[in-house]
Chains A and B, each alone.
Chain A
Amino acid sequence: MSFLKKSPWLLHYNASSCNGCDFELFAALMPRYDPERFGVINTGNPKHADILLITGSMNVRNVEVVRNLYNQMPSPKVVVAVGICATSGCVFADAYNVLGGVDKVLPVDVYVLGCAVRPEAILDGILKAAQVLEEKYRAFQAGKTDKTEVPA
Chain B
Amino acid sequence: MNPYDESVAGIVLRVIAYVVLAPLAGGLLAGLDRKVSAWMQGRVGPPVVQPFYDVAKLLSKEKIAVNRYQNFFVFLFLLYMIFTGSLFFAGASILIVVFVLVLASLFFVLAGFSVNSPYSHLGAERELIQVLAYDPVIIILAIGFYVVTGTFNVGSIYQASREGFLVLHLPGIFAAYLYVLTIKFRKSPFDLSMSHHAHQEIVRGLTTEFSGPHLALIEIAHWYENILLLALIYLFFAFSPVIGVAVALIAYFAEVFVDNAFARVKWQVMLASTWVFTITAGVSNLIILHYLLRR
Q: A residues touching B (Cβ–Cβ < 8 Å)? A: 2-4, 6-7, 31-32, 34, 36-39, 41-45, 47-48, 50, 72, 74-76, 137, 140, 145, 148
Contact = CB atoms under 8 A, between A and B. Distances in A.
Contacts of A41: 198
Interface of B: 34, 38, 41-47, 50, 53-54, 56-57, 60-64, 198, 200, 203-204, 207-212, 215
Contacts of A47: 64, 208-211, 215
Given A7-B54, A47-B209, A74-B211, A148 B46 contact: no
Contacts of B60: 2-4, 137
Contacts of B56: 3, 7
A107 B253 CA distance: 44
Given A4-B60, A148-B62, A37 B43 contact: yes
Contacts of A31: 38, 41-43
Given A36-B34, A44-B198, A48-B215, A74 B61 contact: yes
Nearest to B208: A45
A42 B200 CA distance: 11
- B41, B62, B215: which has the most chain A beta carbons within 10 Å? B62
Contacts of A137: 60
B81 to A, nearest CB: 21
Nearest to A41: B198
A142 to B, nearest CB: 13
B34 A75 contact: no
B61 A75 contact: yes
